[in-house]
Each structure stands twice: as C-alpha cells, then as structure tokens.
C-alpha cells in the first residue's frame, strides 16, 4: 500500500508552500513561482508531476550514480528491513551490514586506509574529522596544532563545523562562521583568475598559498589541510596538473594531515574509485557520502588512515563522538549492494574507458559555441563557462543572470544541470548510455542557441 496520498500538482505545490522549508532556498521567491514536484524516476530520467521527462544531468545531487530504479538496491533494503531494520553500533555492539561495509570500503580504498567511521551524511563526516584531527594532535602531544586550513569557495557541508570548513562567504556571513581555528587559502580556479599566469604556473602559485598560510599562522599550529580533489558545488573546478603534487609535497614537509573530501568524487565518478587515486595523493582522511549508496539511503563516513587510527586506538581511550545512525543497517545493506553493482557492471572502468571519454569529447565540442568560454570534464564531472565574448572571455552583466537563464531553458528542453553563477555544471549517472549522452549534449547546444538569442535580444 502506498504511504503517500495521490494529489494534483497544484495541491502538492500549495502544501509545499504552506508547510515546507527547503534547503538553500529563498522561500519568498520560491513562493511566487512554486516548486517543481518530482514524482518518480527511472534510469537516468526523472519525471515531474505534469509527466515531463527530464534527463538528470546531476544524478540527483551528485549521488544517484547507479541510476534510478535499481532492483538490487531495492531488494537489499527490503531484505535488511525485515532482518534488522535498526540497531546501533554503540556500547560494544555491531551488526553484519556495518562490519561488511567497512571491510568492503577499505578493500577498494588506497592502502593506508583500513578503518571506517560511519556517519549519516557528508556534513556529519566532516564534523567527525574536525574532532578526530584535533584529538589526534592532542594524543601526539602537540595540542597547539588545532588549525585546519581549507579553501575559499570550497563546499564541505552545512553543519556548523562543515560550513566553517567550507569557503562559501554567504554561508559564513549568515551565522558568525567560521568557528575558531579554521582559515582559508586560494582555490585553483584558473579560468576565474586574471589568467596572467599559465595554468601550470597558476596551479603552483595557488598550492604555494597553502605554504604561505602555514608560515603565517605558524607551522606548529597547523593540524590539517582539507580539499575536494575537484571542487564540486563551487563549480567543478579542475586544478591544473601542477597543483596536487605540490600540495602533497607541502603537507609532507610540514607533517600536516591531508583530508581529501571524496563526498562527490568517491566511488568512481572520476573513473577511479577515489579522487585520491586519480590525482595520486596520499590523504590521511577521506570523508565520503552520496555515491556510496547511490543516494538511495542517507549514509556517509570517514576513511581513517593507519597513521591516525593507530594512535586513536592505542592511546585515545574513548572517542566521545557518534551518531544514532552511524552505520545504519539498512543504509549499509544498500551501500553494499551498490558497491557490488558498481563492481559487477564495471562502472568505474566504464567511466575511464568508455562513457567518460565519449561524453568528454562531445562536451569539449560545446566549446565551439559562441557563448562558451571554457569546457572541462574529468570522468563524469564537467563544467562550461558562459561568456559574453569568446575573444576577451568577458562575462555577461551579473544582472542578466546568464547561467540561470540557460539552466531554466535547459530544463524546459528536458535536461537538468546546475548553474553556479555563469558556470554550468553536470555530473550524470554512471549508467548514462551513448544515446543519452548524445541527447544531453544536443539539447545543451540547442539551449545555448536559445539562450544566446534571449541574452542578446
């Protein structure tokens, strides 16, 4: 029996307006136009309450990597619900799904990782890391090392600690963030710079801003550096090749812990299991969420390297931290089924050798359009920059909202992507077929044409 009433679109919209506060939303402006009600989904398509079919170029919110309607995941949840719908991992208990999942995740992760701490989301995972990092340095007899360095325009979540780690100015402004002991350095966003340096020079310069910050705040006060391998919510910012090797060198030289935030890049999106594999970094922590369960149920966690875990276990006593849903059995069962599915269908290799290169080539061709100033895509994570002039790479006037105009027109045409200012980003499901990739790119081109007419009218 369905638990949800059947209602008309208008009724849903009215109830939504009256009772539902949405995340990251200007409610006053939403109430003027009403929400788009998504009622079902299948494969790479979502359907709204009017029956419109929309190709989901964002995998939900960077998470439905296995695509919608996967019976394996539904069956795993149903079976686990019957067997053991909930039990905790506190008070010296554990259950097979949490144990099995921890073991599976360490199996596919880089060799320094052998332990997993579970959380309910990416934000919670990053909160866990703030506490673990500081505890680690306390146990190492260096309690002065509590400062965590992050980057401007990073996104690490929405809880108080995770939003502090993030570098989103409007988030900081709203509620007195960041909390003490978190500082920020430049992001490796070459297109967004004045482009006076070559990308490689710029990559080195931004990496070295980390070293400058370490010296400024004092090397023996710095605990860790956190970064997304490729910034996602900030606009799919792919660092120049020189960036990550230099960051790794600096972390090694100053002995600071490296946190590779894999909430988007983890579990295959770049054609490797983790972003750290793709960029060949050696992180001490990897927070994950989203793609671990393909978003079918909320679950996150932290991979903790031996360097840290051994100290916490040997010297730490009780770590006073945990969530009711740390290692929720049904979420773990779905994540296990999801990882098996990714393995059985060779989806990571498929991104590396098949659909990744296929979509990347078509995506690059969008760069021929007069409105497109730059394109980039790694694995199945891409962006292009809307510009007013291809020659000077000048942007449209902010008031024109070029990115939003494009995004709203594209969804009318049946494809969903995100606009970060005038940067358009996509991250489609791993199961995207060649024909669906063609559809996505053709509709994007047509929408660029319509957008150009609208913006220059």
* Residues binding ligand PXG (CB under 6 A): 61, 121-123, 126, 155-157, 228, 232-233, 261, 263-264, 289, 300, 418
Residue whose token pair is 């260096």: 142
Q: How far is the CB of 126 from ligand PXG (least distance, A)?
A: 6
Query: Residues 6 or more apart from 279 whose CB is under 8 A from it?
Result: 229, 244
Q: How far is the CB of 318 from ligand PXG (least distance, A)?
A: 25
Instruction: Report CA-CA distances (Å) from 352 to 67, 210, 245, 339, 377.
Output: 18, 31, 21, 17, 12
Distance CA 53, CA 66 (A): 18
**Contact 89/282 with Cβ under 8 angstroms?**
no
Q: How far is the CB of 288 from ligand PXG (least distance, A)?
A: 9
What SS3 state is found at 434? helix
Show the tokens assigned to 242.
């020189």
Distance CA 42, CA 51 (A): 13
The burial of 31, by beta-carbon neighbours within 10 Å (0-12 exposed, 13-18 middle, 19 or more buried), is given as middle
Would the CA dihedral through 94, 137, 111, 343 be positive or negative?
Answer: positive
Q: How far is the CB of 220 from ligand PXG (least distance, A)?
A: 28
Which H or E run contains 160? helix 160-165
Between 261 and 436, CB nearer to ligand PXG: 261
Q: How far is the CB of 418 from ligand PXG (least distance, A)?
A: 6
Between 151 and 418, CB nearer to ligand PXG: 418
Phi first, then psi: give them for residue 204, nearest 5 degrees.
-65, -45
Kindly give the residue spans of alpha helices, DSSP state H, lying in 316-401.
Answer: 329-344, 347-353, 355-365
Between 300 and 356, CB nearer to ligand PXG: 300
Q: How far is the CB of 125 from ligand PXG (least distance, A)?
A: 7
What does the radius of gyration of the chain's CA atoms come to, in whole angstroms? 22
Closest chain position to ligand PXG (CB): 122
Q: How far is the CB of 267 from ligand PXG (least distance, A)?
A: 13
E strand segments, 190-316: 222-227, 257-260, 285-288, 300-305
Kindly give the residue spans of alpha helices, DSSP state H, lying in 4-70.
Answer: 9-19, 27-33, 59-62
Q: How far is the CB of 255 from ligand PXG (least distance, A)?
A: 25
Between 155 and 279, CB nearer to ligand PXG: 155
Q: How far is the CB of 107 from ligand PXG (least distance, A)?
A: 23
């Amino acid at each position: 029996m369905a638990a949800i009433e059947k209602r008309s679109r208008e009724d849903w919209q009215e109830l939504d307006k009256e009772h539902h506060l949405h995340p990251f939303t200007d409610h006053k402006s939403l109430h003027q136009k009403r929400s788009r009600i998504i009622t079902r989904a299948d494969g790479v398509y979502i359907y709204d309450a009017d029956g419109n079919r929309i190709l989901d170029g964002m995998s939900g919110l960077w998470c439905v990597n296995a695509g919608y309607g996967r019976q394996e995941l539904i069956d795993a949840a149903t079976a686990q619900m019957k067997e053991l719908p909930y039990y905790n991992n506190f008070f010296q208990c554990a259950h097979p799904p949490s144990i099995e999942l921890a073991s599976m995740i360490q199996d596919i992760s880089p060799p320094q990782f052998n332990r997993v701490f579970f959380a309910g989301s990416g934000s919670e995972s990053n909160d866990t890391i703030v506490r673990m990092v500081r505890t680690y340095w306390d146990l190492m007899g260096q309690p002065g090392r509590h400062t965590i360095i992050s980057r401007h325009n990073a996104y690490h979540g929405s809880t108080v600690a995770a939003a502090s780690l993030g570098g989103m100015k409007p988030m900081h402004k709203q509620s007195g963030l960041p909390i003490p002991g978190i500082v920020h350095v430049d992001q490796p966003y070459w297109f967004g710079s004045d482009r006076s340096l070559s990308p490689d020079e710029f990559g080195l310069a931004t990496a070295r801003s980390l070293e400058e910050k370490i010296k400024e705040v004092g090397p023996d006060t710095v605990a860790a550096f956190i970064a997304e391998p490729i910034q996602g919510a900030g606009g799919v910012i792919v660092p120049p090749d020189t960036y990550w090797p230099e960051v790794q060198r600096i972390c090694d030289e100053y002995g600071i812990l490296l946190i590779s935030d894999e909430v988007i890049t983890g579990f295959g999106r770049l054609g490797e299991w983790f972003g750290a594999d793709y960029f060949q970094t050696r992180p001490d922590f990897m927070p994950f969420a989203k793609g671990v369960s393909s978003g079918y149920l909320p679950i996150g966690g932290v991979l903790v390297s031996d360097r840290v875990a051994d100290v916490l276990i040997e010297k730490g006593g009780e770590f006073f931290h945990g969530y009711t849903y740390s290692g929720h059995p049904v979420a773990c069962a779905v994540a296990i089924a999801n990882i098996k599915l990714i393995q059985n269908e060779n989806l990571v290799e498929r991104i590396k050798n098949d659909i990744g290169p296929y979509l990347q080539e078509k995506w690059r061709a969008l760069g021929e359009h007069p409105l497109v100033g730059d394109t980039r895509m790694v694995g199945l994570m891409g962006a292009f920059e809307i510009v007013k002039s291809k020659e000077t790479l000048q942007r449209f006037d902010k008031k024109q909202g070029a990115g939003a105009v494009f995004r709203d027109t594209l969804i009318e045409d049946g494809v969903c992507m995100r606009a970060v200012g005038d940067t358009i980003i996509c991250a489609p499901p791993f199961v995207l077929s060649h024909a669906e990739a063609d559809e996505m790119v053709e509709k994007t081109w047509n929408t660029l044409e319509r957008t150009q007419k609208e913006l220059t009218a």
